[in-house]
Amino acid sequence: MRMRATAAIVPLLLAGCGVFLLVGSLESALFAQLTVSGLANGGIYASLAVALVLIYRATQVINFAQGALATFATYVAWQFIAWNMTYWLAFSLTLGCAFVGGIVVERVAIRPAGRRGSVLSIVIASIGVLILVEGSIPLIWGTDVRFFPSAFPARTIHVGGVAFQLQDLGTIGVSIAAVVLLWILFRFTKLGLAMRAAAFRPEAARLVGVRVGWMLSIGWGLASALGAVAGMMAAPSPSVLLQPSMMDGILIYAFAAAVLGGLESPAGAVVGGLAIGALLNLLGSYVGWVTPQLLLPAAFLLMLTVLLVKPSGLFGRTSVRRV
Amino acid sequence: MTRIKLALALAVVALGVSVSAGLAATSSGTPGVTAKSITIGGTFPLTGPASLYSDIPKAENAYFQYVNAHGGVNGRKINFLIEDDAYNPAQTVPQTQKLVQQSKVFADYGSLGTAPTLSTRDYLNKLGVPQVLVATGDSYWGAQYKKYPWTIGFQPDYPGEGVIYGRFIRNKVPQAKIGVLIQDDAYGQNYYAGLLKGLGPAKSQIVDVEKYAATQTDVSQQVVKLKSSGANVFALFALPTQTIDALAVATHIGWKPVTFINNVSNNPLFLYLAQKSGADVQNDISTTYLYDIYNNPKSATTKLLASILNQYDKGWNQLDGNNIYGLASAWTMVQALKNAGNPPTRAGLMKALTNLNEVNPFLFTGIKMQTSAGERFPIEQESLEQYKGSTWVPFGRVYTKVK
Amino acid sequence: MRAPTALRFTVVGAVALAIALMPFVLSDYNRSQGARVAVFFIAILGLNIVTGYTGQISIGHGAFMALGGYTTAILTHSHGWSTLPTLPVAAAVGFGAGIVVGLPALRFHGVYLALTTFAVALAVPQLATNYSHFTGGVEGLPLPSHTGIWLYGLGWSVAAVMFVLSWLLLRGRTGRAFRAVRDSEVAAASSGVSLAVHKTLAFGVSAAIAAVAGSVYVLVNAFVNPDIFGLTLSLYILIGAVVGGLGSLWGVLVGACFVQLLPIGISNSHTVSAQSVPVIFGAMVILVMALLPRGAAEALFWATELPKRIRRVHSSSTPQRLEAQ
């Protein structure tokens, strides 16, 4: 009976938040606009957070390099466009390159560290990748800030005094689509099952013929491709733009979103990202003592509070620790 | 085992390289000056989040190389060492120490950033190393010269710029309801203080002040609040990233106030990016003190500037006004070096810089660089400009800073 | 991981002697660099206690350094304290902060703990910027400057003291309790080791040491502001700890040299542009993790074990399989 009750809390809480946002938006155009802008930011956090969750689910590793890899991929896309490819051709090619790139990174940098090392050796290797990849971008493309076109038309829709950017709606849509695709992958495909097995019980998976090494590589490849999508969704935004450090700020909130939602739950990552985006805007506007500098600590305080109550995040499952 | 051996060998090599590379040879005499060369150096954000300013030292170096190819300074070639500090004072300090103690520079030139410059100011002044033409608009460099006689700035300071906008609004926009966006720290406070001073009695017309943290790249929340406060004048005193975002968000939410953009963020490159992001920046106002190459494309100065950069800084971005800044600053340094004695001395350099009375070809036509013993702001004049089409167009007279 | 005691003491003595004698052949600039290595040495030592010996991952030790650094800066700048007495105060502040972080950390495990400490590391500089009235904000606070030799002496004396204290702590009951918690919490708890006490204590001690590292750090720079405690600092401490070898005090010096001297060495060698330095450093980190995933301490262990293994292989026919920790 108790299990049932606690399982109901999270959906109730989220429903409550949704109602709160809706009512507030109907009451005040300012509240509505703040919420909409906040959700737009949240969409960007969510898209990167989904990539983080995928990597964690597939390999049990926190990938510090996720942001840098996403940035690199976006630069590659920019290069393709600069070579006069159409946007969608560049987009698809970039996804392919990112997929391959992720596999290469896993094989060259991560696998050797994992072979005889601990989890931390892998984390350090991923930090090495972060430093290397982020450092290589200015060497190839310089330090100028550039414009990156959006997949969606640059149109603003006005509804009742609130402005919606088609681009932002598109980003949120893409994140949700990614979650759905991942759900289908893990739930209904053999590949997804093999990947879950490889992450959860590598030894047992090997015994039934799963090629664990390849599953890890594919996990990195897919996450890298998702990160590329996140980068290409984020870069057109005027608060991001195409520059070497573009993902730095986003990565932080993406981690918070992923943890908040539960590191193994893509849906949680999206909910977490949107929640953080909206919350930051509302906190900054309505709670007087939250100065701009206190926003980041406030976001983390929220994350921490949720974790204290639910240590594996909103949608995470508490795992039974084996003795 | 081979792996371990290989790793150990690598470690020994790495350690050896680091240690021995540190033990550099030293020379004696007036630091940085030989019969054939003058060595100067500075710290700049070549990597990290502020790396978009890394073209400034490149432009400066281009000018120095141009001068070197034309006889140098009294026959001496300028050797400009550009060190990376990633805008982190924990790197600025050791890099500056390296410039002074290992590379034995004659002067610390053009170092960029308020906090980085503050972190080495005591050190440089204590050792009597000139810290000149620092690339930041804070007032400290001009105002605190009694305590720090070896330090001097270059560009017009932020409070003075704020005064210009304040006076303009007071005189020309009488029905203004002013909304302000500033950074939540001393940088933002500098502009705000100047704005208040310039507004005088009109400061009661400020309806909302919003602040952002330097690490916040999205300011949509603040812009939304400003719009809802009913402001019809927007004092946008931010850093480039936040400026571009604010301009785009304002247009997206349907807010079109009379907008004032600060000098740091008015680079044509940033306005271009804002426009691509959907911002309507027509008729926005800012100040300038650099030579206007965009409205004088065929002038001798523009041709000279282009030829210098094309030869010594290939691939320079023509939209990026920082290049002109770099040339203007480097020109000032060369003038000062020429007047610093032959052979140049550090005291001579400071004397030259505190007795400026020059027309710098890379500055806005009509501006004169002037300093004296008690007046240490090399550039105190700015012109207003307004964005029309896709360029800034100067208008009005040249303002001199109100003291 | 135990080389014979006599050998260990000789090695420590030799290294200590080398460190003590080095400043006499170094320039003033290089002495300050040496002091910076000491800062990382102390910080990595601290991190090792909570992560290497007690198994709790912390990616946020830059935050504890910030607390110690700001304590020293504020006391010397705004309250006229002289330098040395601020260090114990910084340690106390760090200890308190460590306990505060350690308590909720009891609830989190593994990656969640890591990300929580990551959050703390990011939040502290923001708080420093916010309360600029005390901290000087972004424009920071200057500190009295010192010569390279003074800084080197301070840094390495503090490092030596911290090293000895850590060694004493770790070889005693507390240290054994820490290791028990790391290796198996359930086994430790059922042997009567209080998990809550030891996990929190580990955080407290670790943070106190990191805070002292922070104090030396701001003294070496003669300046403090939030930017010097960015995420990079925490990541570098972690890199240094892992490259040096977690769970061992011997690799700490190697780790500290790796993160402090290698980037400087690459840029000083002037063979590559300043903008290539991160690429090369990143590549070296990956390389080291590929070759020595368990850090330099593993290599050192092999080096000391090698003579014994050769003898053993010659004298016995059964090959010995070495358990890595």
The verdict on a CB contact (< 8 Å) between B51 and A244 is: yes
Instruction: Say if residues A125 and C289 touch (Cβ distance below 8 Å).
Output: yes
Q: Is C222 within 8 Å of B93 when comparing Cβ atoms?
A: yes
Neighboring chains of C (3 or more beta-carbon pairs < 8 A):
A, B
Q: How confident is the model at residue A25 (pLDDT cuts 50, 70, 90)?
A: confident
String of DSSP letters for B236-283: EE--HHHHHHHHHHHHHTT---EEEE-GGG--HHHHHHHHHTT---TT
The pLDDT value recorded for residue A122 is 92
Residue A240 touches partner B, C-beta closer than 8 Å: yes
Looking at the structure, do residues B129 and B151 belong to the same domain, yes or no? Answer: yes
Measured between alpha carbons, how far is A143 from A149 in angstroms, rounded to an integer?
18
CB atoms within 10 A of CB B139: 17
CATH number at residue B217: 3.40.50.2300
The answer to whether residues B146 and B55 belong to one domain is yes
- Find the mean pLDDT for residues A31-53: 94
Q: Is the pLDDT of residue C317 over 60?
A: no
Domain positions in chain C: 19-315
pLDDT, average across residues B275-301:
95
Range of the domain at B249: 158-288
Q: Is B232 helix (H, G, I), strand (E, B) or coil?
A: coil
- Of B49, B253, B315, Cβ closest to residue A245: B49
Write the pLDDT tens digit of every residue in B252-285: 999 999 999 999 999 999 999 999 999 999 999 9
Asked whether residue B101 is assigned to any structural domain, the reply reads yes
Question: Nearest-CA neighbor of B360 among B351, B350, B376, B371?
Answer: B371
Q: Quote the pLDDT of residue B21.
A: 44
Domain identity same for B151 and B168: no
Alpha carbon of A154: minimum distance to chain C alpha carbons (Å): 34
Nearest residue in chain B measured CA to CA from C33: B94
Q: Which residues pair with A102 in a beta bridge?
A: none
Domain co-membership, B272 together with B235: yes
Count of domains in chain B? 2
| Minimum CA–CA partner of A168 in chain B | B252
From B88, B86, B123, B90, select the one nearest B108 (Cα to Cα).
Answer: B123
* Nearest residue on chain B to A29, alpha-carbon basis: B228
Q: How many CB pairs under 8 A join A and C?
A: 136
- Closest-approach residue (CA) in chain C for B125: C145
Contact C126 B213 (CB under 8 A): yes
Q: What is the mean pLDDT of residues B106-130?
A: 96
3-state secondary structure of B394: strand
Dihedral angle over CA of A79, A82, A88, A90, nearest 10: -30
| Domains of chain A, earliest start first | 2-309 (1.10.3470)
User: Would you call A241 and B320 a contact, using CB atoms and an 8 Å cutoff?
Assistant: no
Is residue B35 within 8 angstroms of chain C, CB to CB? no
Nearest CA to A241 out of B130, B274, B4 is that of B274
Residues facing residue B384 across a β-bridge? B287, B395
Q: What letter does residue B53 receive in the DSSP assignment?
A: G
Question: Three-state secondary structure along B147-174?
Answer: CCCCEEECCCCHHHHHHHHHHHHHHHCC
CB A110 within 8 A of CB A61: yes
Residue B380 backbone zone (phi > 0: left; psi -120 to 50: alpha; other: beta): alpha
Backbone angles phi, psi at B380, to 5 degrees: -125, 10
Tell me what pLDDT residue C325 has: 37
Answer for the pair B180, B259: CB distance below 8 angstroms, yes or no.
Answer: no
For residue B397, which phi and psi values (nearest 5 degrees)? -100, 170
Task: Give domain status of residue B18, yes or no.
Answer: no
> Does residue B222 fall inside a structural domain?
yes
Give the domain-ending residue among B233, B267, B288.
B288
Q: Report the candidate in B357, B366, B368 with the shortest Cα–Cα distance to residue B398.
A: B366
Asked whether the beta carbons of residue C268 and residue B97 sit closer than 8 angstroms, the reply is no
Burial class (CB in 10 A: 0-12, 13-18, 19+), A88: exposed
Q: How far is C293 from chain A (nearest CA, A)?
A: 5
Among B206, B239, B115, CA closest to A292? B239
Probe site for chain A from B224, B228, B272 (most A CB atoms < 10 A): B224
Res. B28 pLDDT band, cuts 50 70 90: very low
Number of H helices, E strands in chain B: 13, 14
Mean pLDDT of chain A: 90
Tell me which residue of B326, B323, B325, B350 sits closest to B339, measured CA to CA.
B350
Checking if the pLDDT of C44 tops 50, the result is yes
By C-alpha distance, the chain C residue nearest B92 is: C221
CA distance B304 to chain C (A): 28
CA angle B273, B279, B282 (to 5 degrees): 100
In a domain, B402, yes or no: no
Average pLDDT over residues C153-160: 96
Please check whether residues B227 and B344 belong to one and the same domain.
Answer: no
Nearest CA in chain A to B48: A245
Domain co-membership, B55 together with B134: yes
| Closest-CA residue of chain A to B184 | A292
pTM: 0.92
> Is the pLDDT reported for residue C238 higher than 50?
yes
Query: Residue holding tokens 């450090």?
Result: A245
What average pLDDT score do residues B300-308 get?
A: 96
Is residue B104 assigned to a domain?
yes
Report the gap between the CA of B366 and the closest CA in chain A (Å): 31
Interatomic CA distance for residues C252 and C12, integer angstroms = 12
Per-residue pLDDT, C315 = 60
* Residue B148 shares a structural domain with residue B162: no
Q: C262 near C281, Cβ under 8 Å?
A: yes
Distance (Å) of CA C135 to CA A291, C81, C305: 16, 16, 50
Q: What is the pLDDT of residue A5?
A: 52
Question: Other CB atoms closer than 10 Å to residue B359's CB: what's the count?
Answer: 10
Q: How does residue C306 score in pLDDT terms, banded at 50, 70 and 90?
A: low
DSSP H helical ranges for B261-397 = 268-276, 300-312, 322-338, 346-353
Measured CA to CA, the distance from residue B324 to residue B288 in angstroms comes to 11
- What are the structure tokens assigned to B156, written together? 């017009």
Residue B17 lies in a domain: no
Whether the pLDDT of residue C320 is over 50: the answer is no
Domain match, B59 and B142 both: yes
Pair (B60, B112) in one structural domain = yes
Closest Cβ–Cβ partner in B47, B115, B123 for C227: B115
Q: Is the pLDDT of residue A299 over 90?
A: no
B90 phi/psi in degrees, rounded to 5:
-70, -15
CB contact under 8 A, A130 and C282: yes
For A210-213, the CB contacts below 8 A with 24+ separation are A213/A111
pLDDT band at B123 (very low <50, low <70, confident <90, very high): very high
Indicate which of A64, A131, A263, A309 best probes the interface with C, i.e. most C CBs within 10 Å of its own CB: A131
Co-location of B307 and B251 in the same domain: no
Tokens encoding C250? 């011997």
At CA B211, angle to CA B175 and CA A48, rounded to 5? 125
Copy the structure tokens of residue C140: 């920071």
| Run of H or E residues at C40 | helix C28-47
Domain boundary residue, one of B288, B321, B351: B288
Q: Which of residues 104-133 of A touch B (CB under 8 A)?
A: none
Contact list in B for residue C21 (CB cut-off 8 A) is: none
Q: What dihedral angle (degrees, nearest 10) is formed by the CA atoms of A43, A44, A50, A53? A: -120
pLDDT tens column, C59-113: 989 999 999 999 999 999 999 999 999 999 999 999 999 999 998 888 887 788 8
B138 with B110, same domain: the answer is yes
User: C-alpha angle A213/A216/A218, rounded to 5°?
Assistant: 110
Of C111, C120, C276, the CB nearest to A263: C111
Q: Is B367 part of a structural domain of the chain?
A: yes
Among A239, A279, A296, which would you mutate to test the B interface (most chain B Cβ atoms within 10 Å of its Cβ)? Answer: A239
Q: Which amino acid is at B136?
A: T
C87 neighbors C232 (Cβ within 8 angstroms): no
Distance CA C70, CA B175 (A): 47
Residue A322: per-residue pLDDT: 47
Q: How many residues does chain A have?
A: 323
Question: For chain B, what is the mean pLDDT?
Answer: 91
Do B270 and B316 fall within a single domain? no
C-alpha dihedral over C117, A108, C41, C171, to 10 degrees?
Answer: 80
Asked if C47 contacts C211 with a C-beta cutoff of 8 angstroms, the reply is: no
B146 located within any domain:
yes
- Considering only CB atoms, which chain B residues are within 8 Å of C258? 14
End-to-end CA separation in angstroms for chain B:
73
